Amino acid sequence: MPQLSDYFRRALSKNPHLQSYVRRYFDRYGEVPAYAVTLREEMSRLKSPNLIYPIGDPLFIHIHTVEKDVRYKIIEPTLPRESEQKYDKVVESLLFLAQRMKEPGDREELIRLLDDMLLRISSGDEGNGIAARFSLVEKIPMSQEELIAIRYRLYKNIVGVGILEPFIRDPYLEDIFASGLGPVFVMHKIFRMLKTDLILKSDAEMDEFCQMLSEVMGRPLSDATPIADGTLPDGSRANIVYSRAISKRGSSFSVRKLPTEPLSITKVIQLGTLDEVMAAYLWLSIEHGMNIFICGDSACGKTTLLNACCAFIQPMAKVYSCEDTAEVTVPHKCWQQLTTRATGTGRGDDIGMQDLLISSLRSRPNYILVGEIRGEEGSIAFQAMQTGHPVMATFHASSVRKMVQRLTGNPINIPVAYIENLNIAIIMRSFNQGNRQIRRVIELAEIEGYSPAAGGVVLRSIFHWDPFKDAHKFKGLYNSFILEDRIGVILGYEDKRQIYRDLAFRAAILREMVKRGIFDYYEVFQVTKNFFNYGPAGLPFKLEEKKWNFGV
């Protein structure tokens, strides 16, 4: 085989199954895939990619080209048929030991317990671990390859999410889905839509997997409740449609992966979703309790932006989040995370969004975050605004006008005069740009109020996105109702235009953070927190406070 990098050699020596895979591939095709420790955006331009990357031992992914079609293949440990009996014996021994010890408190403790017991079973070493107290289990000799494969299969089936475990571990995936029987597909951050080598071939196999997945989410499926939405242990959002009764192609599932850590506002700026001036505008607005709806179609980045904007909530605020599935992450210490509960029993013991919002209002939070407003809970959100509880929420609407139409129509039915309680509407959209998908805030509008004379809700567009230049334009300089007549009044400025100086300085802070590579979610929150508490002296860098050129 050709010369390999040191990283590749170490991975091969540590993982016999990877070694076997690469050898078989070389024997068949006469070449060895490239090895990439990390993937880069420019790899999306490769015409015929052929590379392997690690997603945490013992798992690797092979991106390769088959007849001009780019495929996604999982490289994972597998047991030879003659070793299957050893796996069965290990499971029996683990069940025997599990009956004689207390239930682990969390996933981490369960993993340590499995490792300890597996070590005891495979080596007979009584050591100092929990399993050392048991001498009744039979020792099961294993090779290194067998030990790696058995440990991985145990983890996948007991702690993980079964056949989806490799996909969940891959940090470069955005979505995982199967629309009935056949191959599972993924949406890759670099290589976009890919067909995988995982194929679900029968209704029994698909139904069994969907049942297991629903139980992991705590939303069991049945013929009476054939649809389940929920959150997996890693925070990914899953949707399952069960049985051919409502899905003609059989059961199906989709999983929307969440980043292990939310994107910070500086990272969102760097990606071009919005610019530092718009982010500074949101900083001032959120810090001073404005009500904001982030709108757009599915997968356009609404929740990502909501998470990023949490850094602008006053640091000592009491924050409540209400969601169907847990996606919002708040960096504040005083954060109550509420999620709905769907039991499917029909006994009236479900907990809906409306229940969560009513409960949160009783605790008098400083900010309420609503994962997504769909129905009658919208009226509770507007009641919260009316009683002085600021609300930020995501909402499905492709324009400000359509947002107003949905809010005032069935099933939400907000009286049109109440819309003036909402201060800011953000419209987002996603676009395909070559091989990559980009997300942009295309408009930010202020809601001045309801005017019968004007024929409805009075709006003022403050930012808009220029698609030809891929740049955001600030149209609100000396023309912002929220900055001048709301926040400027709160701050007690005699000259309300002083607020633009605050806006300029915050934009400069964000620009400097992007320039210095301050992208960590919690580090960005620490900067905004210190600025709130100590002013410019609390910043990790010095800036001259000067008039900003907004480019108008």
Q: 259 or 224, which is more confident?
A: 224
Please write down the long-range contacts of 66-69, taking CB distance under 8 Å and 24 or more positions apart. 69/195
State residue 461 phi and psi, 5-degree precision.
Answer: -75, 125
Question: pLDDT confidence of 136, banded at 50, 70, 90?
Answer: low
pLDDT in tens, 146-155: 888 988 998 8
Burial bucket for residue 123 (CB in 10 Å: 0-12, 13-18, 19+) = middle
Q: 269 or 158, which is more confident?
A: 269
Angle between helices 353-362 and 377-386 (to 10 degrees): 20
Q: How far apart are CA 25 and CA 73, in angstroms?
A: 12
How far does CA 392 lie from the centroid of its chain? 18
Burial bucket for residue 20 (CB in 10 Å: 0-12, 13-18, 19+) = middle
Res. 196: pLDDT tops 70: yes
The secondary element (H helix, E strand) that includes residue 220 is none
pLDDT value of position 127:
47
Verify cis geometry, omega within 30 degrees of 0, for the bond prior to 141. no
Tell me the mean pLDDT in the region 353-361: 91
Question: pLDDT confidence of 124, banded at 50, 70, 90?
Answer: low
What are the tokens at 83? 């070793």
Instruction: Give the three-state DSSP class for 237.
Output: strand
Q: How far apart are CA 247 and CA 241, in angstroms?
A: 7
Residues 6+ apart with CB under 8 A from 12: 4, 18, 19, 22
pLDDT value of position 551:
41
Res. 125: pLDDT tops 50: yes
Quick one: DSSP state of residue 402? Answer: H
Mean pLDDT of the chain: 89
Integer CA distances (angstroms), 385 to 163, 369, 380, 423, 461, in order: 45, 12, 9, 10, 22
Question: pLDDT confidence of 448, banded at 50, 70, 90?
Answer: very high
Which one, of 194, 149, 199, 200, lies nearest residue 172 by Cα?
194
Res. 369: pLDDT tops 50: yes
To which residue do tokens 């495929």 refer? Answer: 71
Res. 338: pLDDT tops 80: yes
Tell me the mean pLDDT in the region 173-188: 94
| Best mean pLDDT range from 341-350, 384-393, 538-547 | 384-393
What are the tokens at 80? 């030879």
| CA dihedral over 344, 231, 441, 448, signed as positive or negative | positive
Question: pLDDT confidence of 235, banded at 50, 70, 90?
Answer: confident
What are the tokens at 451? 């005017």
**C-beta of residue 218 within 8 angstroms of C-beta of residue 200:** no
Verify cis geometry, omega within 30 degrees of 0, for the bond prior to 58. yes
In percent, how much of the chain has pLDDT > 70?
Answer: 93
pLDDT value of position 131:
43
Res. 466: pLDDT tops 90: yes
What are the tokens at 68? 């001009």
Computed over its alpha carbons, how large is the radius of gyration of the chain? 27
pLDDT value of position 10:
94
Q: What is the pTM of this model?
A: 0.79
Question: pLDDT confidence of 233, banded at 50, 70, 90?
Answer: confident
pLDDT value of position 31:
93
Q: How far apart are CA 110 and CA 24, in angstroms?
A: 36
Q: 344 or 243, which is more confident?
A: 243
Question: pLDDT confidence of 509, banded at 50, 70, 90?
Answer: very high
Res. 372: pLDDT tops 90: no
Tell me the mean pLDDT in the region 261-277: 95
Q: 484 or 129, which is more confident?
A: 484
Question: pLDDT confidence of 452, banded at 50, 70, 90?
Answer: confident
pLDDT value of position 293:
98
All domains in the chain, ordered by first residue = 1-69 (no CATH), 81-159 (no CATH), 265-538 (3.40.50.300)
Integer CA distances (angstroms), 198 to 19, 185, 195, 303, 535, in order: 21, 9, 9, 30, 54
pLDDT in tens, 471-508: 999 999 999 999 999 999 999 999 999 999 999 999 99
pLDDT value of position 239:
92
